[in-house]
Amino acid sequence: MARATSDTAPAIVFLLLYLAVFAVLARLYATKAVKWRSRYSFVLFHVIMRVTGMALGVAFSCLSWEQERQARTGVLIAYLVFAAEGYFSLILCASRFLIVWQQDRLGRSELEPRIPKGTPTSERIKKLVAAPILWIEYQLAAANAIIVAGSSIMSQSITNPDSPDAHSKSTTGKAMRIAGTGIFLGLVQAIIFIAILSYRKRGDRTLVMILLTWPFLTARGIYGILSVVTPGWSYSNAAAYGPNGFTSNFLAAEYAMGIATEWVTCVLLLGTHFSALNGGDELVEDHNAEDTDKLRMQSLGDVETSRRSSVGARKEG
């Protein structure tokens, strides 16, 4: 029979927090403050993944382990899958925000060159294939598939713990989850490294907010690995459970490092819109524009202005 436990409260809190973010996004779309075909759609995708995951978390905490073991195990695996999707979607979000920032502030992005309308199909395909972001997204998709497959294999060992190959499946599933999360973590460092290089060229408050996601995304990835290998933090280990549900140690780690880090990252990325309204410049997304080198053009413009000022001063003299 379903019942509320001490595990339910934090799940409900973060469900409400994500619903609040969803409400803000809904208002931005309704008032046409942001477009559907924009970087904010990636944030919306993340929020939907996390709202679904937190709803599963609430359901999981309300199910009796002894009386509804099969249902609880199924909900647990679904929760783990959506948790992986949450991290996956956030890395996509960060990369899209960085790309748009580079295109708007620098005139081009080394991660994804823009393809103007009228570009021949052969050249369009060539640019798409050569874009680094395509290969980053392929690696993200592959890592995501590895994590989902690992969760599925782990579920078999949880559902049938007395099976002869239960230990083997548990080991394999854990290894796959660690490998997939490790790829996620590595890609986060690569994306942030590119963001740091961009900041050295021309930093502003919007890019600072994107950079501030680094410690949270990194902590989330580290926790994703530790939650597999640390007995007290693993769903599949009895050490994570107490007489009335999860231990306080498990709950603190799960919600502080696994969920709060994602929520803060999501809010930081969404906050770039409101930061721009408060004296900054909103990023403009133009997928059909020609790539340029705004820094070089600005430098040439400054040189020309300086030359004219010098000529004018000599004439006055």
Q: Dihedral of CA 143/144/149/150: which sign?
A: positive
Own/partner long-range contacts of 164-172 (Cβ < 8 Å, ≥24 apart): 170/236
135, part of any domain? yes
Residue 278 located in a structural domain? yes
Beta bridge partners of 246: 241
Q: Which helix (H) or strand (E) holds 280?
A: none
Is residue 286 domain-resident? yes
Beta-carbon contacts of 310 under 8 Å, excluding residues fewer than 6 positions away, are none
Residue 1 lies in a domain: no
Instruction: Flag whether 296 is in a domain.
Output: no
Q: What whole-number distance in Å separates Cα of residue 79 and Cα of residue 73?
A: 10
What is the model's pTM? Answer: 0.86
Residue 311 lies in a domain: no
Helices H / strands E in the chain, number of each: 11, 2
Is 151's pLDDT higher than 90? no
Structure-token pair, residue 272: 């770039």
Average pLDDT score over the chain:
84
Residue with the bigger pLDDT between 65 and 71: it is: 71
User: What is the tens place of the pLDDT at every residue in 217-233?
Assistant: 999 999 999 999 998 88
Residues 217-276 pLDDT 10s: 999 999 999 999 998 888 777 788 777 677 889 889 999 999 999 999 999 999 999 876
The residue behind tokens 């709950």 is: 251
Residue 300 has pLDDT above 60, yes or no: no
Token digits of residue 73: 């195990």
Q: Are strands 245-246 and 241-242 parallel, antiparallel or unpaired?
A: antiparallel
Identify which has the larger pLDDT, 304 or 258: 258
| Tokens matching residue 180 | 């997939």
With respect to residue 164, please indicate whether it lies within any of the assigned structural domains: yes
What total of structural domains would you count in the chain?
1
Q: Flag whether 302 is in a domain.
A: no
Choose among 59, 42, 53, 45: nearest CA to 15.
Answer: 53
* Cα–Cα distance list, 239 to 57, 126, 229 (Å): 19, 52, 12
Coil/strand/helix, residue 199: helix
Mean pLDDT over 3-12 rounds to: 72
Residue 296: left if φ>0, alpha if ψ -120 to 50, beta else—which one?
A: alpha
Structural domain for 70, as ranges? 8-291
Cα gap 54→245, rounded to integer Å: 17
